[in-house]
Amino acid sequence: MNDIGRLFQAFVAPAIFVSATALLILSVNVRMMGIVSRLRQFVHAKYDAEKSGRAQEANAYTAQIDSIERRAETIRQCFLWSLVSLGGSVAACLLFGLGLYVPHAAMAAAIVFVFALLCLFVAVINYIREVRVALSSVREEVRDLNFMDLGSSTEISERKPGEW
């Protein structure tokens, strides 16, 4: 009976990090979906601009696409490091449990757990990097008048919401 209590104690710390890492992964996944969606939108808009002979607008979209691709790579790195951390945390839980019966497994569990925490730290650094530049694309759009071809002010005021 004493071993069961120790087994649950061994699972607690890594299990908390499994939950925290899973929440980070969820957040990163939502962010990545938004970035990919925006990237697809810009790629289609660039194609339309090139097809219509609007070279300046196509060039503006190219700049935006490059910026968003850099952000997507940073968030992808965050996603991958978070997944490695999650795997390490789960492995540490299993090794801690095994460590009750195999003494060397407990030492391996501690090493794997520290590795998982380091991976989580790298993931968070990448997340911070991406968040710091998150509004750069919007700021670039605002500065680049060639980026948007909305039409005249009369056409804009006559549009219904969602017709942009």
The domain segmentation of the chain, as residue ranges, is 2-144
Mean pLDDT in residue range 1-23: 73
DSSP state letters, the chain: -HHHHHHHHHHHHHHHHHHHHHHHHHHHHHHHHHHHHHHHHHHHHHHHHHHTT-HHHHHHHHHHHHHHHHHHHHHHHHHHHHHHHHHHHHHHHHHHHHHTT-HHHHHHHHHHHHHHHHHHHHHHHHHHHHHHTTTHHHHHHHH-TTS-----HHHHHHSPTT--
pLDDT tens, residue by residue, 101-129: 888 998 998 899 899 999 999 999 999 99
pTM of the model: 0.72
pLDDT tens, residue by residue, 22-74: 999 999 999 999 999 989 998 998 999 889 888 888 888 888 888 889 999 99
